[in-house]
Structures are given as C-alpha cells and as structure tokens.
Amino acid sequence: MALLVQKYGGTSVASIERIKQVAAKVAAAKRAGKDVVVVVSAMAGETNRLIALAQEISKLPDEREKDVLIATGEQVTVALLSLALKEIGQPARSYLGHQVRIETDNAYGKACILSIDSTKIVEALKTGEVVVIAGFQGVDENDNITTLGRGGSDTSAVALAAFLNADACEIYSDVEGVFTTDPRICPDARKLAKVSYDEMIELASTGAKVLEIRSVEFAKKFAVPVHVRSTFTELEGTWLVEEDDSMSDVLVSGVACDKNEAKITLLRVPDRPGLAAQLFGPIADAHIVVDMIIQNASEDGTTDMTFTVPKADHQKALAIVERALPAVHAKGIKVDTEIAKISVVGVGMRTHAGVAAKMFEVLAREQINIQMISTSEIKISVVIAAQHADQAVRALHDAFIR
C-alpha cells in the first residue's frame, strides 16, 4: 500500500477546531487507501511561550533542560490529534521521538537525526492505525531528549519519509507552496509547480521560510518527493523534485530576501597567513554559522574583512571577535544589523551567462548600493541596506520572472 507522511505545522494545529480539521484530512487520506504517518508541530506560538518561560529563569538556560521543556509542545498535539482521529472512528496511535526512537546526536537545540527505528511504526500501520509522531524532537544515545532547531518538524517528517521509504512527504502549512518571491512583498509572486532540491536549498538558505533548510538537504540526499501545500485548500502546492531538463530553460525561479543577518567588519587587518583561521576558528567553535565573507586585496599590507552571521548570533560573534582583536591586530570593528541579503536563484544559471550583470543593472537603475556580493553555481546574492530590501525584491522579480 502507498505510504504517505504528512506534516502539519503550528498554525494547522493552533486550536481544537483546526486539529479536528486535520483529523478529517488525515482520515480522508487513509480512506483513499493510503497508509498514513502524521508528524505534527506544537500549537502556533507554543514553542515561543515555552522558551520565554525558561528565559524568565535564566538568560541562557541550560540546554539539556531547555530541550526537555520545549519538546513538550509537540507532546500536546500528538495526543490531541490522536484523540480527534479516534473520535471520528479512525484508529490512531501517538508516539514521541524517544518512543519510536528517532536517534539524534547530542547537540541540544540543533540536534541532527542519525537513525530512526521503524519497527513500532510499521507494526501499527499493519493494524490499520494512523501513526502520529511528535516532530522537532529525538533522543541521543544516552536517552537525553533533544530538539532539532526551530522549524525542525519539517526535518522530522522528511527523515521519517526517507527511513520508511514513503511514496511522498506532504508538508502542510498556511502557505500554498513555494512562491517565486514573498507575496507579501510582491503581489505578482506566483506559486511554482515544481522546484529542484538544489534550488530549494538555496531559496531556504536565502530567506524563503516555507521549509526548514535541513529538511530539504535530507530530501535531496534520499530523493524524497516533497509536496509543500496548504492545509486549508485542496489545491496542488509545489513539488520538490530532482532537477530535470525543463528546469534549465528558466533562468531565475525565485527571488529571496533575508533580513536576519548582521554584518561585522574588521578594519585594517594585517594581510598575512593565519589571520582568517585565527578569527573564524573560534566563531565556528561557538557553532555560529558564517554566511558571506569578503576580504579585499591589500594595498598597504592591511585589508578590511567583512562577514555576515545570523542576527541572533551577532552579539556572541562580536564578543569573540573583540577577544581576538589584539591577536589579529585589527584597527577596529564595525557592526551593521540593518542589512538585507537579496538572492536570485535558478538552475538555468548553470548554463546561461549574464544573470549577475542583469541583477546589478536592475539595482543600479533603482539607485540601490551593493555592499557585498557572493555567488554559487545557481545563485547570486547581494547585501544591501535593509531599507531598500522590498524595492529590490520587486524590481528583480519584475526583471527576471514576470
């Protein structure tokens, strides 16, 4: 029998009313002849509420206990959804991460899934039950509860689909799919019927928040067909699939905007071997992900070095840089949190030239100054002042997509 993994996000389970709606959808899939494994998030706002509780006690809560706490949000929703399913006559069974054994490493708050034991799930499916599994959580080898990072239920769902060899993984939320850009910024944005894993990885990492990035990497690695769609309509959403020939005809499939980064500049760093290692080593040790890095050619033996980090980590990064300052002999530090990273993404760039030039032209016409540039095979990103972000997105969407 075909096996479907369905994941419902926080807004889809935000109230008892909505949980009942989800139960009806799940039961309908089951009636249509599918085996169904459901993964749920916590009710909308719940994870934030729990984090705030911990912060009332401690500014930097102990990571193990924080995971024990924030994993409870999903315990509520698996139970409620299972109850709702049973209530309408659909046998169901809830499981927490450690009960099925979704094993992760021990990086609290950003744990990675290592393996999933499917025994209990498969047994329950055989008896006709729908299996409802708590997203976002797992257990390490010493039985400590771990969580996967914000938005981690997507990863739980795709990982389950991979380990269970499901026919598809449906990600239900309040958005209808993956759009060419954020429809709230650009009214001309339209829904993509399909998008390649690589494009989605770039879009997710450059600010399109439909899917958590690690879930896309997982989907790519195990070639899981993922269908991103809305809980509240019956419309087809967007399919994440492997790249095919038809895709390379499209130069740019999406324009993404990320306002969650901050820029740190070290002024007049001596230009000699080992400095970058001295600086970025401790930042990596603190698990801070550095995105763009720019170092200029030096004229007088010194150079400015600029890099971006997640805004949420920029204080931490700054403290590390300040500590390293005497050793790297920089003349000073500048921080800018009012930046936006705008990216154009498309597999067509592999085979077509001129996308970067056109992007710069469009921004020039809009009189928008580019502060940083970085590229990959299928993406061009620029950092600009945050105040011009929406204008840039609209102009680029207009130029490349409409």
| Residues within the interface to ligand ASP (CB under 6 A) | 9-10, 41-42, 47, 73, 135-136, 150-154
Q: Which does 136 bind (CB under 5 to 8 A by kind): ligand ASP, Mg ion, none?
A: ligand ASP
Binding site partner of 343, from ligand ASP, Mg ion, none, Cβ cut-off 5-8 A by kind? none
Q: Which is nearer to ligand ASP, 64 or 388 (by Cβ)? A: 64
CB of 52 to Mg ion, least distance (A): 17
- From Mg ion, ligand ASP, none, interface partner of 198 (C-beta below 5 to 8 A by class): none
Asked whether the CA dihedral 217, 218, 223, 229 is positive or negative, the reply is negative
**Which entry of Mg ion, ligand ASP, none binds 73, CB below 5 to 8 A by partner kind?**
ligand ASP
Q: Give the residue with the Cβ less far from ligand ASP, 45 or 281.
A: 45
State the minimum distance, in angstroms, from the CB of residue 17 to Mg ion.
19
Q: Is the CB of residue 109 less than 8 Å from the CB of residue 67?
A: yes
The encoded tokens of residue 177 equal: 């799919």
Cβ proximity to ligand ASP, 160 vs 380, nearer residue = 160
Sign of the Cα torsion 326, 331, 337, 343 reads negative
Distances (CA, A) of 357 to 286, 287, 338: 37, 35, 25
306: nearest Cα among 345, 256, 341:
341
Minimum CB–partner distance for residue 136 and Mg ion (Å): 8
Q: For 31-42, b where at least 16 C-beta lie within 10 A, e where not — what string? A: eeebbbbbbbbb
Q: What is the closest distance, in whole angstroms, from the C-beta atom of residue 274 to Mg ion in the complex?
A: 41
Give the 3-state secondary structure of residue 292.
Answer: coil
Looking at beta carbons only, is 146 or 306 nearer to Mg ion?
A: 146
Q: Is the CB of 154 or the CB of 182 nearer to ligand ASP? A: 154
Q: Which is nearer to ligand ASP, 90 or 173 (CB)?
A: 173
The token duo for 370 is 């580019």
CB of 384 to ligand ASP, least distance (A): 28
Q: Directed axis angle between helix 63-70 and helix 72-87, to 10°?
A: 20
Tell me how far, at minimum, the Cβ of 152 lies from ligand ASP, in Å. Answer: 5
CB atoms within 10 A of CB 92: 25
